[in-house]
Amino acid sequence: MNRELLQVYFIMGSNNTNRDPLAVLEEALQGGITIFQFREKGAGALIGEEKRTLASKMKELCHRYNVPFIVNDEVDLAIEIEADGIHVGQDDEPLIQLKQRCPDNWIFGVSATNEKEARQAIKDGADYIGVGPIYGTATKEDAKQPIGVEGLAGIRAIAGDIPIVAIGGIKLGHVLRLRKAGADGVSVISAISQVEKPRQTAELFKKYNQYIPSYSINAE
Ligand SMILES: Cc1ncc(COP(=O)(O)OP(=O)(O)O)c(N)n1
Ligand SMILES: Cc1ncsc1CCOP(=O)(O)O
Ligand SMILES: [Mg+2]
């Protein structure tokens, strides 16, 4: 995949905002997010038809802005609404298994908290790795212990040229150090979904990302 797509990776479900989630997503798209993940889980999450309808509307919105639409965890939902990819973690359906029933041209993302998980994700054919949590986060109830910038750098060192996005507790002020440690971009929920001005915040995330060139083993 094009690693520049990971620069501003926005994730959201309906329970990550007190506002209309479609309005928040549209503002984030206007601000220049580069990829979006639909993550509808946790307390108060929608289920059934309501979830499918929101997912479909979010996909249409992303496509209007030419932004890839990824679904978290739920492969059947992703297939049904013709998403552009799927993101799975260590406790989800294994990548090699779900790849058998997904289109080849999808974007496949896998989470890793340590080097062993990252090696396995690469072996299984992940297109990118979501590395974290980097910092403490209140958004994910079952988040593991934060691995810090050092943990990210360690995974970068063994991951070769595979695209990596940092996740977990990330705010604007963290972007430069995470990019310098080898992340191709940052993935955020609350830093965009819970601010007053998602559009302006997304614009700043994009701007800060663009100070540092994308990671490449061929770069100097
Ligand atoms: C880009 C990205 N990276 C990591 C995750 C976390 O996935 P997982 O560990 O499966 O946890 P849940 O998000 O499913 O609670 C992610 N969603 N996206
Ligand atoms: C989904 C996920 N995976 C690791 S931390 C996290 C939550 C990120 O949310 P926030 O950006 O609000 O800390
Ligand atoms: Mg998961």
**E runs forming strands in the chain:** 8-12, 35-38, 69-72, 85-88, 107-112, 128-131, 164-167, 185-188
Counting from 1 in the atom list of ligand 1, the atom nearest the Cα of 89 is 10
19-33 average pLDDT score: 98
Listed in sequence order, the residues at least 6 apart from 18 whose beta carbon sits closer than 8 Å to its beta carbon are none
User: pLDDT averaged over the chain?
Assistant: 96
Sign of CA dihedral 205, 203, 42, 84: negative
Report yes or no on 158 lying in a domain.
Answer: yes
- Considering only CA atoms, which of 142, 154, 66 is closest in space to residue 117? 154
> So what's the pLDDT on residue 84?
98
What CA–CA distances, in Å, run from 80 to 84, 102, 136, 149? 11, 11, 34, 37
Between CA 196 and CA 127 the distance in angstroms is 33
Catalytic entry in 3, 14, 39, 199: 39
The pLDDT confidence band at residue 16, using thresholds 50, 70 and 90, is very high
Residue 137 CA, ligand 2 centroid: distance in Å:
6
Report yes or no on 217 lying in a domain.
Answer: no
* pLDDT over 90, % of the chain: 95
Counting from 1 in the atom list of ligand 2, the atom nearest the Cα of 138 is 13
Of 87, 93, 131, the residue with max ligand 1 atoms within 8 A of its CB, to mutate for a pocket test, comes to: 87
| SS3 label, residue 54 | helix
196-202 average pLDDT score: 98
Encode pLDDT of 108-144 as tens digits. Answer: 999 999 999 999 999 999 999 999 999 999 999 999 9
Report yes or no on 23 lying in a domain.
Answer: yes
pTM exceeding the 0.95 threshold for the entire prediction:
yes
Q: Which residues does the annotation place in the binding site? A: 37-41, 72-73, 92, 111, 137-140, 169, 189-190
For position 169, which CATH number holds? 3.20.20.70
Sign of CA dihedral 78, 80, 81, 83: positive
Burial (CB count within 10 angstroms: exposed 0-12, middle 13-18, buried 19+), residue 121: buried
- Considering only CA atoms, which of 115, 120, 110 is closest in space to residue 165? 110
Instruction: Give the residue numbers spanning the domain of 119.
Output: 3-209
Report yes or no on 216 lying in a domain.
Answer: no
Report yes or no on 102 lying in a domain.
Answer: yes
Count: domains in the chain: 1
Hunting for tokens 């994730």 — which residue is that?
A: 11
Report yes or no on 215 lying in a domain.
Answer: no
- Considering only CA atoms, which of 57, 21, 13 is closest in space to residue 39? 13
> So what's the pLDDT on residue 214?
75
The CB of 165 under 6 Å from ligand 1? The reply is: yes
Report yes or no on 105 lying in a domain.
Answer: yes
Report yes or no on 214 lying in a domain.
Answer: no
72-78 average pLDDT score: 98
